[in-house]
Amino acid sequence: MTLRHEAFLDQVKERGEYETPHEAERAARVVLALLGAHLVGEVRAQLAARLPDEFALILLNPLQSAEPLTPERFVRATAAWIEGATEQTAAWDVSAVLSTVADAAGHDLLEQVLLQLPTGYDLLFGRPQPT
């Protein structure tokens, strides 16, 4: 089931403890653009189908990445794209957005997403995997 735009942003806003929907949307746009650069094929398309249209388009038309980013570099890249962000605030942004994405994806699709990402992304999605 696809989340409505407002419902998605409300979840990100609540989890990120943002004061305004604009802050939540800014975080969502950056994180989804970076995430989209790491996903390919049917998995990316299926995930996009679970997101509101505006955010699905961002995921499907990502920023370019020359190589997969480790979770730490993903957070640093997020910080670089959000004006005034630090690595600590970017980690918060990533967590707020990706935990919302994880809820929208559901368990099975999230497992497929995690298979395309470097080790450690399960923590960014708020879904630690057993080792």
How high is the pLDDT of residue 84?
92
Residue 27's identity, in one-letter code, is: A
Contacts of residue 56, defined as CB under 8 A and 6 or more positions apart, other chains included, come to: 48, 49
Q: Return the SS3 of 85.
A: coil
Q: Tell me, yes or no, if the pTM score tops 0.75.
A: yes
How high is the pLDDT of residue 1?
52
H/E stretch holding 124: helix 121-124
- Read off the pLDDT of residues 16-48 as tens digits, 9 standing for 90 and up: 999 999 999 999 999 999 999 999 999 999 999
Tokens of 57: 């388009």
- Read off the pLDDT of residues 47-69 as tens digits, 9 standing for 90 and up: 999 999 999 999 999 777 778 89
Can you give the three-state secondary structure of 13-74, one letter per residue?
A: HHHHCCCCHHHHHHHHHHHHHHHHCCCCHHHHHHHHHCCCHHHHHHHHCCCCCCCCCCHHHH
